Amino acid sequence: MREAARSASGAMSENRKVHIKSFGCQMNVYDARRMADTLARDGYAETASAKEADLIILNTCHIREKAVEKVYSELGRLRGMKADAESHDRKPIIAVAGCVAQAEGKEIIRRAPSVRVVVGPQNIHRISELVARANEGHAVVDTEFAVEDKFEQLAPPKHEITRARGISAFVTVQEGCDKFCTFCVVPYTRGSEASRPAARILAEAEGLIAQGVKEITLIGQNVNAYHGAGTDGRDWTLPKLVARLAEIPELKRIRYTTSHPRDMDDELLEAHRDIEKMMPFLHLPVQSGSDRILEEMNRKHTRADYLRIIERTRKARPDMAFSSDFIVGFPGETDRDFEDTLALVREVGYAQCFTFKYSPRPGTPAADLDAQIPEDVKSERLYRLQELIETQQHEFNLSCVGKELDVLFEKPGRHEGQIVGRSPYLQPVPVIAPKSIIGSVARVRINELRTYSLIGELAGNEPVAPAEYSSPEVNALA
């Protein structure tokens, strides 16, 4: 017999299944997990199959036009699946969460009437209540920016779920953005910058670490602008928060993303210099190498400012590698501007990058500019930029061959006896090693590069530390 569970409305409901499909950034991955944790209280177990789900949530991204189109085509597909389920006497609920939900609101229900719940990123803590109302036959839209602290109301993950998710976890430390780059919808969909109090972040991190998490990535749209209330009554900065987290002995690695060049201050660079657990890998989007375009984008930094930050970061941490985001074909971008971008890429030398064609977003200032760039020019520039970046990525990966790198081991690999970990630069590193190595950091001699993986062997003969963490759930992730 299926177990009964208490639902948000207090009524008893049968155990049900939820399928969440997330698009876009890490913030969405985090939000999807927290929605799953909150719905677990109502008896919803997660399933990888949309077909068997009683609740399907599309957790959407609005950053580029294609992302929105993807949501509507996905909804078209789900409509067929829902009709099929209904002919078998099942009534799955379809919900749209995330930034498309925020931006489009009830327009989603108008265009896709099979959708019963539309919930913005600031309201996901109300998911249980919204789903309960949808189950009663209502269509509900909740996109008002909530005044209460959503993080306080989202449920923490059950212990076995944290363990099943593996040894690396995200923790949101701030949300939203006050920078208003002229191409970007984030200030409108995620709202203005808000930092969580340090005590709550630490409590969440400690809960994860107690269940075997060894690496935490602090996430936020403007994570290095973090300024949350500290445990000492003062506002804490990101480096202060990282320093406090680094004191937890079981936590081996700390990362943070995404940063804005304007907020890369001395204190953060000193933290990179002094805190061994901070990984030497920085995602620092620049968007363009042309001062004229940076100005038009309202980035509030110049090309020279950015290059200076890179230089100072390398000084603080010589083994630092960099990644960035680039937009090609921003309105008014000339061949000369684009050449400036290529030159900046050559000057920095990236380990990896994300590249995008400019996509006009309704309501943002750049969408109204006259000098929109033709699609074929954007495509050509994207191709050239990607070619350069791929060469750099390959060179960076090759430069790791012959070195010894610290690897945090995560899960069994595809081949017998293999365990896969990640280098400080997030490259996958498969190694022949005992399962007990999962959850610990060991030095690996890198012998070969195979596509994007670094193939290596454990360096030295020191015995592998006894398993601090090795659960069947994690092993099942392979």
Q: Which residues bind ligand SF4 (CB under 6 A)?
A: 177, 179-181, 184, 186-187, 221-222, 260
Cα–Cα distances (Å) from 395 to 164, 243, 428, in that order, read 35, 33, 16
Which amino acid, one-letter code, is at 397?
A: N
Q: How far is the CB of 121 from ligand SF4 (least distance, A)?
A: 13
Per-residue buried b or exposed e for 266-291, using 16+ beta carbons within 10 Å of the residue's own CB: eebbebbeebebbbbbbbbbbbbbbb
Q: Which residue has the tokens 């949309």?
A: 50
The answer to whether 260 contacts ligand 5AD (rule: CB under 6 A) is no
Q: Which of the 8 DSSP states describes residue 276?
A: T
Partner whose footprint covers residue 187, from ligand 5AD, ligand SF4, none (CB < 5 to 8 Å by kind): ligand SF4
Q: Pick out residues in 314-333 that bind ligand 5AD (CB under 6 A).
A: 325, 327
Provide the mask over 351-380, with x wherever binding to ligand 5AD is found by CB under 6 A and - wherever it is not.
Answer: -----x-xx-x-------------------
Q: How far is the CB of 366 from ligand 5AD (least distance, A)?
A: 7
Tell me the C-alpha distance between 333 and 283, whole Å: 24
Partner whose footprint covers residue 361, from ligand SF4, ligand 5AD, none (CB < 5 to 8 Å by kind): ligand 5AD
Question: For residues 43 and 331, which CB has a smaller minimum distance to ligand SF4 in the complex?
Answer: 331
Question: For residues 177 and 242, which CB has a smaller minimum distance to ligand SF4 in the complex?
Answer: 177
Per-residue buried b or exposed e for 405-433, using 16+ beta carbons within 10 Å of the residue's own CB: bbbbbbbbbeeeeebbbbbbbbbbbbbeb
Tell me the C-alpha distance between 465 and 44, whole Å: 38
Whether residue 457 contacts residue 431, with contact meaning beta carbons closer than 8 Å, is answered with yes
**Residue with the closest Cβ to ligand 5AD?**
325
Q: How far is the CB of 283 from ligand SF4 (least distance, A)?
A: 11
Question: For residues 23 and 44, which CB has a smaller minimum distance to ligand SF4 in the complex?
Answer: 23
Q: How far is the CB of 108 from ligand SF4 (least distance, A)?
A: 22
Return the H-helix or E-strand segment holding 91: none
Give the interface size with ligand 5AD as a residue count (CB under 6 A). Answer: 12
Q: Which residue has the tokens 């109301």?
A: 153
Q: Which residues are at the interface with ligand 5AD (CB under 6 A)?
A: 63-64, 183-184, 285, 287, 325, 327, 356, 358-359, 361
